[in-house]
Amino acid sequence: MTTLDNSKPSWGSSYRLLAAEKWKEKSAAMGRDVTEALVNYARPALGMKVLDLASGTGEPAITLAARVGPQGHVTASDLSAELLEIAAERAKQQKLSNLLTRQADAQQLPFAEASFDLLTCRFGVMFFPDGVKALREAHRVLKPGRRACFLAWGPFEQPYFATMLGIVHKYAGGPRTAPYQDPCRYAQPGSLSAVLQQAGFQEIDEQTRTLPWTWPGGAEEVWEQVQAVATPFLPMIKSVPAEKWDEMNREVLRSVRNYADGDSIKFGAVVVLASGVKT
């Protein structure tokens, strides 16, 4: 059982990087179906030049690089140069020579106008402080007639959040996240479409889907991973009083185990897919 002492580590960036490295294979396995859904939605073609925003440790940029082939090219961008180092190493291990990493702020992209055939972003658009400004930048760097495709979390009231962070919130009280750090910011139908429209996109599409979201391990493991990498929720997790921690832990683990199936935890994920065209 996780205890207070070993489940509330230092939340500095160095710890999060170690956690990202530790859990990269299982995190990638959990996110595989979501990655595939976004890539299939984006319809990358051979030879395309693609920009992936908020790539983190490499997805969907790596999957996209395989899809566009050696004549295509993918730029994986993120605010964190350290996370991009992990992405670059993963691409190297897969012998992908057509993926370049570039540290970049989505609200001020270091790319020329009309540079890309496709733009993607998986679980990143929710965290851009000024969504309209970031999407205007996305619009600027796209070639005319090309699409920007985004995937965001649906409502907080779904198993992955409710079984762990929902219970933490019950014990912590207060806000779940800081302003503009809510992963479920665009859960309300039409809200992401509205930002795309304000940013100048046309032919906007938005849809909500439920996809597999399976942790290939046990309840203790996925709870440990969430505590390490769920950055927007870390202040809330840290605020749980010490005397409540063991009781909360037990409740979290009981809740997560309701979704156990053999050696895996099958949460499922409700997500929002949205796209727009630069005309």
Residue 8 φ/ψ, nearest 5 degrees? -125, 70
> Using one digit for the tens of pLDDT, what is the confidence trace for 110-167?
999 999 999 999 999 999 999 999 999 999 999 999 999 999 999 999 999 999 999 9
More confident residue, 14 or 163: 163
Whether pLDDT at 13 is above 90:
no
The number of folded domains in the chain is 1
State how far the Cα of 103 lies from the Cα of 88, in Å rounded to an integer.
12
Residue 148 φ/ψ, nearest 5 degrees? -115, 130
Percentage of residues of the chain with pLDDT beyond 70:
92
> Using one digit for the tens of pLDDT, what is the confidence trace for 215-247?
999 999 999 999 988 889 999 999 999 999 999
> Using one digit for the tens of pLDDT, what is the confidence trace for 48-96?
999 999 999 899 999 999 999 999 999 999 999 988 998 999 999 999 9
Residue 22 φ/ψ, nearest 5 degrees? -60, -40
State how far the Cα of 105 lies from the Cα of 43, in Å rounded to an integer.
25
> Which of 14-23, 190-199, 246-255 shows the lowest per-residue confidence on average (mean pLDDT)?
14-23
Whether pLDDT at 38 is above 50:
yes
Kindly report the CATH number assigned to the domain that includes residue 129.
3.40.50.150
Q: How far is CA 177 from CA 123, 183, 232, 236, in A?
A: 16, 9, 6, 7
Q: Give the strand order in the sheet containing 142-153.
A: 99-103, 73-78, 49-53, 116-122, 142-153, 269-277, 202-211
**Would you state the pLDDT for residue 230?**
87
Evaluate whether 49 touches 115 at the Cβ level (below 8 Å): yes
State how far the Cα of 208 lies from the Cα of 213, in Å rounded to an integer.
15
Range of the domain at 92: 4-277
State how far the Cα of 36 lies from the Cα of 182, in Å rounded to an integer.
24
